[in-house]
Amino acid sequence: MQMLPLVINGRIELSLTPGAHSRLIKEIIEQFGPRYAPEALVLYVGDTGAKMRHFDKRGFKALGLTFDSHGKFPDVILYDKKRNWLLLIESVTSHGPVDAKRHTELSLLFKDAEAGIVYVTAFPDRQTMARYLSEISWETEVWVADAPSHIIHFDGERFLGPYEETP
């Protein structure tokens, strides 16, 4: 079984378990990240073979975040230092978009974050997205890997940014 190579943060070499889910994670880091959060740091990469393939404990601590290793993290977490955003990205090939329940889980897990939170669901293609369209939560973003230069915004007061309720 051939592992899927991945380089993050310009220097850290990882190997992901082969499969569609890992291929999409690789595309998120190599295509989505540079396009929508240039120079963002990869703080976390989950993998089907190793839940915490990459976990930047020091990076999270610098943001004032500490976690129980049993927390249900999204598949990829990017930190855009320039805009002070944490992008929480779910890689969806067979289950798991950012639906209302997942949105609540993630908001509770990251409630102490000083950075703005951006919720993103990534799909390999529009056919996969179509199966989950009715489940996707408002105030989130959707990215489709086979059309990397497009992003779909699900309502909210701003495009690709943390959603902040107005009083």
Domain ranges for the chain, please list them: 4-154
More confident position, 155 or 38: 38
Report the distance separating Cα 50 and Cα 31, nearest Å.
22
Give the CATH fold of the 4-154 domain: Trna Endonuclease; Chain: A, domain 1 (3.40.1350)
pLDDT (average), residues 36-58: 87
C-beta separation of 142 from 28 below 8 A: no
Residue 166 has pLDDT above 80, yes or no: no
- Tokens representing 118 are 């951006």
- Predicted confidence band of residue 53 (pLDDT cuts 50, 70, 90): confident
- pTM for this prediction: 0.90
pLDDT (average), residues 117-143: 95
- Predicted confidence band of residue 102 (pLDDT cuts 50, 70, 90): very high
- Give the number of residues written for the chain: 167
The residue type at 2: Q
Residue 137 has pLDDT above 50, yes or no: yes
Query: Regarding beta strands 41-45 and 76-80, do their DSSP bridges make them parallel or antiparallel, or are they unpaired?
Result: antiparallel
C-beta separation of 66 from 73 below 8 A: no
Mean pLDDT of the chain: 88
Distances (CA, A) of 12 to 43, 56, 66: 11, 11, 22
Range from 53-62, 97-106, 152-161 carrying the lowest mean pLDDT: 152-161
- Predicted confidence band of residue 69 (pLDDT cuts 50, 70, 90): low
Residue 30 DSSP class: I
More confident position, 28 or 16: 28
Residue 61 has pLDDT above 80, yes or no: yes
Amino acid 2: pLDDT: 82
C-beta neighbour count of 51 within 10 angstroms: 12
% of the chain surpassing 90 pLDDT: 61
User: Which sign does the torsion angle of CA 156, 158, 162, 166 carry?
Assistant: negative
pLDDT (average), residues 72-95: 93
Q: Beta partners for 125?
A: none
- Tokens representing 124 are 């390999």
